[in-house]
Amino acid sequence: MDVKSIRFEIERAMRSIWIYISILIGVFIGTLDLCLFHSIYKTDGTSSLIQAWIGTDYKFAYNSLFYILFPIIACMPYAGTYYSDINNGYDKNICIRSTRIQYMCSKMIAVYLSSFIAVTVPLLFNLFLAAGFYPDNSPERLTFMVAGVIDCNMFPYLFQCHPVIYCLIYILIDGIMGGLLGMVAVCISRWVDSRFSAIMVPFVLYVVVGVVLSEQDLGGWSLYGIVNPIQNALVLWYQPILVFMAVIMVSVIITIIYSKKRDIL
């Protein structure tokens, strides 16, 4: 694997204005949620960190807004650049100095990393901000039962006894799944007609598949159901692993096949 190529693509991703715009969108949504929560519940000692954090704040619409926009936040930073590279011939210039497989691997790594960062930074920022106002207490069952995680959900012990660790684990899961959406955007870039489409197709798939599977009581198999820490859908521990492996395998296979085909052309 070409380390220089990977470093070059990562530097391109980190210099892109879109990664900062994406992070700011997530931070803005999270801050609005915390401001609304604080304006209503103040700091009277009865509210806890896990109730105020946007990931598990089920009382207001901002949780739903963030997780509906989740694929856009993940894909906006760098996932659409592969379409731009193809459209302006930049990929051909790069492949003069390295193989297409090396270029695609570097692109995928940079996209995955940028998507991971764009998703996790707003959630971490909101968690740290909320921690400045609310203690890391266990959620009260009577006041937090609507979003309460029961034994058949993921991480019920952490949710009840170590809420902040529950939040951090879900931030990690969201970053991992956000990276997957970025890879999906790269894979479909060769069949769309604009960078905007490359970003919007994963969004449409994310929402449509999530809604369809939820209607069939299979929400645990959709990214829409997996990424939300409220766990409105019943998600079993093995489902995120299998979804991750399936998307990775399909992405790698498509990338290898298309790279060889484009080299021939």
Residue-level pLDDT at 146: 45
Q: Which two tokens stand for residue 133?
A: 């106002």
Residue whose token pair is 């409220």 = 230
Residue-level pLDDT at 264: 44
Q: Smallest Cα–Cα separation from 115: which of 251, 221, 262?
A: 251
Give the whole-angstrom CA distance, residue 173 versus residue 158: 15
DSSP code string of 149-207: --TTSSSHHHHHH-HHHHHHHHHHHHHHHHHHHHHHHHHHGGG-SSHHHHHHHHHHHHH
Q: Which two tokens stand for residue 42?
A: 């103040």
User: Taking the domains of the chain in order of start, what are their residue ranges?
Assistant: 3-264
Give the whole-angstrom CA distance, residue 1 versus residue 67: 34
Number of CB atoms found within 10 A of residue 146's CB: 9
Residue-level pLDDT at 144: 58
- Which is it for the CA torsion 253, 258, 208, 53, positive or negative? positive
Q: Which two tokens stand for residue 24?
A: 């700011």
Supply the DSSP symbol for 44.
-
Q: What is the pLDDT along the chain (265 residues), one digit of tens a residue?
A: 678 889 999 999 999 999 999 999 999 999 999 999 999 988 777 788 999 999 998 889 999 999 999 999 999 999 888 888 888 877 777 777 777 788 888 999 999 999 999 999 999 999 999 999 999 988 766 555 444 566 667 888 888 889 999 999 999 999 999 999 999 999 998 888 888 999 999 999 999 999 999 988 898 999 999 999 998 888 888 999 999 999 999 988 887 787 665 554 4
Give the whole-angstrom CA distance, residue 168 versus residue 3: 30
CB 25 within 8 A of CB 69: yes
DSSP code string of 47-105: --HHHHSTTT--SSTHHHHHHHSHHHHHHTTTTTHHHHHHHTTHHHHHHHHS-HHHHHH
CB 248 within 8 A of CB 179: no
Q: What are phi and psi of 155, to 5 degrees?
A: 60, 45
Helices 100-131 and 90-97 sit at what angle, rounded to 10 degrees?
110
Residue-level pLDDT at 62: 96
